[in-house]
Structure 1
Amino acid sequence: MKNTLTKFCIVALSLFFWGCGAYFNQPLGPQEARIGEITKQTKTLYTLPEPEEAIIAGVYNFKDQTGQYKNIENGSTFSTAITQGATTILIKALEDSKWFRPIERENISNLLNERQIIRSTREEHRRVNDNSPTRLPPLLFAGVLLEGGVVSYDSNILTGGAGAKYFGVGGSTQYRQDRITVYLRAVSTNTGEVLKTVYVSKTVLSQAVDVSLFKYVNFQRLLEVETGFTKNEPAQMAVQEAIEKSVEMLIIEGIKDKLWSTKEGVEKNKEIVDAYLLEKEVEESTGLYERRYLENNYNSQFNFNAGMALVDGDYSTGILDYKFGFIYKYSIIPELRVATDFQFFRLNSTPEINHWWLTQGLNVEYNMLPNDRLSPIFYAGPGILLFADDSPIGHLQRWDSFFNLKFGAGLEYRVSPRVSFVLNGEWDVTFSDKIDNLPHGRRDDFYYTMSLGLSYHFGSSRSKKKIYNKGEQLEISPLNN
Structure 2
Amino acid sequence: MRATILLLTSAFILSVLTACSGTMRPMHTEPATHGTVSKSYHSLKQLPEPEEKIVAAVYRFRDQTGQYKPSDRVASWSTAVTQGATSILMKAMEESGWFVPIERESISNLLNERQIIQNIRQQHSGGQAPQPLPPLLFAGVMLEGGIVGYDTNVITGGLGARYLGTGGSGQYRKDQVTIYLRAVSTQSGRVLKTVHTTKSIVSQQLDSGLFRFIDTNRLLEAETGYTYNEPPVMAVTEAIDDALKQLILEGIEEQVWTARDYDEVLAYREQFNYEKKKEEQLKRDYFGMIDRPELRGGWSFGTNASIGSVIGNYNNPDINPGVSLQIERAINSTFSFRANGQRTRVSAPSAYSNPVNSAELLLNAYITPRYSLSPFVAAGGGAFIFDKKFDDISEQIFPFVALQAGFDYRFNNRLGMNISTSYRYLLIDGLDGVSFGKFNDQHWGVNAGVTWRPGFLN
What is aligned with 1:187? 184
TM alignment of 1:327-476, pairs within 5 A: 327-333=327-333, 336-345=334-343, 347-349=345-347, 354=354, 356-361=356-361, 363-383=362-382, 385=383, 387=385, 389-390=387-388, 396=394, 403-440=399-436, 443-457=439-453
What is aligned with 1:326? 326
Tell me if structure 1 keeps the 8 A contact 2:295–2:369.
no
TM superposition shift of 1:148: 0.4
TM superposition shift of 1:97: 1.0
What is aligned with 2:224? none
Distance in 1, Cα, partners of 2:342 & 2:172: 48
Instruction: Pick 1 or 2: higher relative contact order, CA cutoff 8 A, min separation 6.
Output: 1
TM superposition shift of 1:429: 0.7
What is aligned with 2:164? none
Secondary structure of 2:297 counterpart: strand
The alpha-carbon distance between structure 1 residues 380 and 40, as it changes in their structure 2 partners (threshold 3 A), is same
Distance in 1, Cα, partners of 2:337 & 2:355: 26
TM alignment of 1:48-447, pairs within 5 A: 48-69=47-68, 84-103=83-102, 105-106=104-105, 140-142=138-140, 144-153=141-150, 180-188=177-185, 190=188, 192-201=190-199, 203=201, 239-255=236-252, 259-260=256-257, 262-266=259-263, 267-277=266-276, 280-281=279-280, 285=284, 296-307=294-305, 310-315=309-314, 318-319=317-318, 320=320, 322-333=322-333, 336-345=334-343, 347-349=345-347, 354=354, 356-361=356-361, 363-383=362-382, 385=383, 387=385, 389-390=387-388, 396=394, 403-440=399-436, 443-447=439-443
Distance in 2, Cα, partners of 1:184 & 1:265: 25
Aligned residues: 398
| Paired letter, 1:343 | G
Runs (5+) with no aligned partner, structure 2: 1-15, 120-126, 161-169, 208-226
Secondary structure of 2:453 counterpart: strand
| Paired letter, 1:150 | I
Distance in 2, Cα, partners of 1:322 & 1:74: 49
What is aligned with 1:19? none
Distance in 2, Cα, partners of 1:452 & 1:70: 40
The alpha-carbon distance between structure 1 residues 418 and 331, as it changes in their structure 2 partners (threshold 3 A), is farther
Distance in 1, Cα, partners of 2:102 & 2:314: 87
Distance in 2, Cα, partners of 1:392 & 1:253: 77
The two structures, once aligned, show a CA RMSD in angstroms of: 5.5
Secondary structure of 1:324 counterpart: strand
Distance in 1, Cα, partners of 2:389 & 2:203: 67
| Paired letter, 2:195 | T
Secondary structure of 1:426 counterpart: strand
Cα-to-partner distance string for 1:103-146 (whole Å, 9 max, x where unaligned): 455566788999999999xxxxxxx999xx9998796451x432
| Paired letter, 1:421 | M
TM-score normalised by length of structure 2: 0.64
Cα-to-partner distance string for 1:223-261 (whole Å, 9 max, x where unaligned): xxxxxxx99987666644543333223223445666555
Tell me if structure 2 keeps the 8 A contact 1:304–1:326.
yes
What is aligned with 1:219? none
Distance in 2, Cα, partners of 1:77 & 1:87: 24
Distance in 2, Cα, partners of 1:360 & 1:232: 45
Distance in 1, Cα, partners of 2:416 & 2:402: 23
Per mean C-alpha deviation after superposition, the further-off stretch among 429-438 and 273-282 is: 273-282
The alpha-carbon distance between structure 1 residues 250 and 439, as it changes in their structure 2 partners (threshold 3 A), is same
Distance in 1, Cα, partners of 2:191 & 2:406: 54
Distance in 1, Cα, partners of 2:74 & 2:86: 30
Distance in 2, Cα, partners of 1:397 & 1:73: 60
TM superposition shift of 1:147: 1.2
| Paired letter, 1:26 | T
Runs (5+) with no aligned partner, structure 1: 1-7, 17-21, 121-127, 163-172, 210-229, 463-481
What is aligned with 1:466? none
Tell me if structure 2 keeps the 8 A contact 1:433–1:441.
no
Distance in 1, Cα, partners of 2:296 & 2:309: 34
Distance in 2, Cα, partners of 1:149 & 1:380: 51
The alpha-carbon distance between structure 1 residues 343 and 247, as it changes in their structure 2 partners (threshold 3 A), is same
Distance in 2, Cα, partners of 1:206 & 1:419: 26
TM superposition shift of 1:428: 0.8
| Paired letter, 1:431 | L
Distance in 2, Cα, partners of 1:349 & 1:317: 9
Cα-to-partner distance string for 1:185-215 (whole Å, 9 max, x where unaligned): 22355572452322243649799x9xxxxxx
Cα-to-partner distance string for 1:328-382 (whole Å, 9 max, x where unaligned): 231423xx32324142545534676636445342x23233443554443322223
TM superposition shift of 1:312: 3.4
Tell me if structure 2 keeps the 8 A contact 1:287–1:293.
no
Distance in 2, Cα, partners of 1:392 & 1:35: 75
Secondary structure of 1:299 counterpart: coil
TM superposition shift of 1:426: 1.6
Distance in 1, Cα, partners of 2:101 & 2:63: 20
What is aligned with 1:479? none
Distance in 1, Cα, partners of 2:403 & 2:381: 9
What is aligned with 1:215? none
